[in-house]
Chains A and B, each alone.
Chain A
């Protein structure tokens, strides 16, 4: 079963606009990660935030984590057509062996 929900399920914006995606999860975690998937192919790791961190930046990406609300958000600034993809959050719980539990994903469409 999925760990949680992502919101919105789909998002359509124009190039240059910002895109915000939200992720909620259910259980305790060690870290939360965001992945991108183009056209149903492999996933590309974007950014990881640990449970003791509240915000992290990487290029045009900004991730926040609120463990009290069991939620995270991914902000993509100044979006480009190449950002069109599905975005998934995944929670990691390290018990000696880490598995990832993915959300349901947000489909982002960036129009030129």
Chain B
């Protein structure tokens, strides 16, 4: 039974570019949440997708957008990249939106130069 998978593992972009990160939830899970973790900090909630709709959003600008597909996988898109967007991006899945426990993927490390 595969856990949460994310791709790519690492990514290097330059300021102003756009990036798409991908996440496949754990088998049987239908809800995907995205978190940003800056170096030395705890993860911060970006948004959550359930039934292909954004259900909750953290304090992130509109440059951050997402999508959930019918197979429950999800994408995180970031436009007009800033140096401050450099971070580890974590995807977490759960069986349903109100489920207490979320299972995290290994993350995508994004470096913006």
Binding site for B on A (CB under 8 A): 1-2, 30-31, 33, 35, 40-45, 48, 88, 90, 92, 94, 96-105
Q: Which of B34-83 contact A (CB under 8 A)?
A: 35, 37, 39, 41-45, 48, 50, 55-56, 58-59
Bitwise interface map of B from 14 to 52 toward A, beta carbon under 8 Å scored 1, else 0: 000000000000000000010101010111110010100
Q: Are A99's CB and B42's CB within 8 A? A: no
Question: Considering only CB atoms, which chain B residue lies closest to A35 in the complex?
Answer: B104
Determine the chain B residues whose CB is within 8 A of the CB of A43 once the complex forms. 43, 90, 92, 104
Q: Are A102's CB and B42's CB within 8 A? A: yes
| Smallest beta-carbon distance A30→chain B, Å | 7
Question: Considering only CB atoms, which chain B residue lies closest to A47 in the complex?
Answer: B101
Determine the chain A residues whose CB is within 8 A of the CB of B58 once the complex forms. 99
Q: Which 4 A-B pairs have the closest CB atoms?
A: A102-B42, A42-B106, A43-B104, A42-B104
Binding site for A on B (CB under 8 A): 4, 33, 35, 37, 39, 41-45, 48, 50, 55-56, 58-59, 88, 90, 92, 94, 97-107, 109
Determine the chain A residues whose CB is within 8 A of the CB of B44 once the complex forms. 1-2, 102
Q: Are B50's CB and A88's CB within 8 A? A: no
Other than A88-B42, A100-B43, A104-B41, give 10 A-B pairs with Cβ distance below 8 A: A35-B104, A41-B106, A42-B90, A42-B105, A97-B50, A98-B97, A98-B102, A99-B58, A101-B45, A102-B43
Q: Are A33's CB and B43's CB within 8 A? A: no
